[in-house]
């Protein structure tokens, strides 16, 4: 079976997901995989895409994922979550707040993120 081609951003998500695995984080390997991205891009994807999709693994006792996330499932989860957040922003604000300039900025980031996912 042929492996799916991943976008550069999807590869970034997969690398950042290692932070949320119940095992030693391979920081040097991760740095090699993500160092070509700007820090702002890494930070955005860590906090707005990867952390929401992966953080629950660290709250479980014992954590169910300790060897690594299934990358295809991870990518699908992040895309679904990003679309949900866009819809939430349009219909009542992100995280229960009404639509404000801050919400619109976040919405712009998500829309940009979705367009990057599709390219």
**Residue 57 forms part of a structural domain:** yes
**Residue 73 forms part of a structural domain:** yes
Q: What is the distance between the alpha carbons of residues 115 and 7, in angstroms, rounded to a whole number?
A: 12
**Residue 1 forms part of a structural domain:** no
**Residue 3 forms part of a structural domain:** no
Give the model's pLDDT for residue 41: 92
End-to-end CA distance of the chain: 23
The domain containing residue 75 runs over which residues?
8-118
**Residue 83 forms part of a structural domain:** yes
Count of domains in the chain? 1
Tens digits of residue pLDDT in 84-99:
776 666 665 444 544 4
**Residue 2 forms part of a structural domain:** no
Q: What is the mean pLDDT of each run of 10 residues along the chain (119 residues)?
A: 77 92 84 92 91 82 67 91 72 50 55 53
Helices (H), 27-100: 27-34, 39-45, 51-54, 56-59, 71-90
pTM of the predicted model as reported, rounded to 2 decimal places? 0.67
């Amino acid at each position: 079976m042929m492996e799916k081609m991943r976008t550069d951003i999807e590869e970034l998500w997969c690398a950042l997901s290692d932070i949320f695995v119940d095992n030693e984080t391979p920081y040097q390997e991760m740095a090699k995989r993500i160092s070509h991205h700007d820090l702002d891009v890494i930070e955005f994807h860590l906090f707005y895409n990867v952390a929401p999709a992966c953080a629950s693994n660290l709250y479980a006792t014992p954590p169910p994922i300790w060897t690594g996330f299934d990358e295809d499932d991870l990518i699908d989860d992040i895309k679904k979550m990003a679309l949900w957040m866009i819809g939430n922003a349009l219909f009542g604000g992100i995280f229960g707040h009404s639509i404000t300039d801050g919400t619109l900025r976040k919405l712009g980031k998500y829309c940009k993120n979705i367009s990057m996912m599709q390219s």
